[in-house]
Amino acid sequence: MKHFQIITFILEIILFLAAVIIGVLYCFNIIKDERSWIKSDSKLKVAIEVFSRAVILVIILYFGKTALMTRIMDLPNLVMGKVNVVEDFAINKHGGRRDFYEHIVIRETEVKFFLGSGIKSSGTFKITYLPHSKRGINVEAASKYSYLMDKKIGMPIGPIIVILYCFFVIILLHEYGLWFLGAASIIYYPICLYYFVHYGRTKGVWSLSSNDGLIGMVAGVAFLIMLFVFYLLERFVINRFKGSHDDELIITKVLAHIITFTYELSLLKMFNLI
């Protein structure tokens, strides 16, 4: 668990930093292909562009301050081992719900673990977390009465998948993103459907708030809708700047890889492998 949380923490900083830099460059009109609106004869178009970029800039700055800066401030703490270690009664705030971040409350502090901490509901645990971002690093059972959610504390296979997928599949095979997504969907949705029916029949839970299979299907469809929206936007940009000769839909295909990666993590989570 410790290695997995550290790797995902570092990847979060890289992804968030890239998003903030690209967003700021866009807002200040530094990206070359986004400058044509300045020469527009329509004052309304210019006003809309300026207003929308100002709003986006405010959102980016708020995101950078709340999500990115706290993580950057914790980098020296992670390197030098200046982490908070608390041993006390801890509660899973989401009550076992699967989410990208699992929130654990210990001594009135809410600690976030990416994809899960292993704490099923509550108990006495020894939790290690970073002071500024409150990102959880490790969980250890502090007494014989504590129990984990059918997991062993240690090095999961998650880090291997993160490294291989982010630095090999997405970078080297980005052009096959839609093919990867199609293959993953063929596996992902039947398994989610199975879990939906299984939870409903065995536990009588059919609602979205508690049925993991239904949550997986709804989230998956939402990701596909988001992918379609990005496809339309990227297609619009390509048609707008036809002189770029770039018709590869790179952003759409990379996003398809990220969605595929999310499907894989969700399946591993369902099978209690991470």
**Is the domain of 104 the same as that of 46?**
no
pLDDT of residue 167: 63
**Is the domain of 72 the same as that of 88?**
no
**Is the domain of 35 the same as that of 132?**
no
**Could you say which of 27, 56, 80 is where a domain stops?**
80
**Is the domain of 12 the same as that of 71?**
yes
Rounded CA-CA distance 181/198 in Å is 25
**Could you say which of 80, 115, 130 is where a domain stops?**
80
Rounded CA-CA distance 74/63 in Å is 16
**pLDDT tens for each residue of 32-54:** 555 555 566 667 767 777 787 78
**pLDDT tens for each residue of 120-164:** 667 777 888 888 888 888 887 765 544 444 343 344 455 556 666
**Could you say which of 80, 99, 123 is where a domain stops?**
80
**Is the domain of 243 the same as that of 175?**
yes
Percent of the chain scoring above 70 in pLDDT = 72
In a domain, 244, yes or no: yes
**Is the domain of 36 the same as that of 76?**
yes
In a domain, 153, yes or no: no
pLDDT-derived band at 186, boundaries 50, 70, 90: very high
pTM: 0.49
**Is the domain of 21 the same as that of 68?**
yes
- For residues 229-257, give the mean pLDDT: 74
**Is the domain of 90 the same as that of 52?**
no
In a domain, 210, yes or no: yes
Q: How many domains does the chain have?
A: 3
**pLDDT tens for each residue of 61-107:** 888 888 888 888 888 888 787 888 888 777 777 644 455 677 888 88
Among 50-54, 56-60, 239-243, name the one with the lowest average pLDDT. 239-243
Give the domain range for residue 95: 84-141
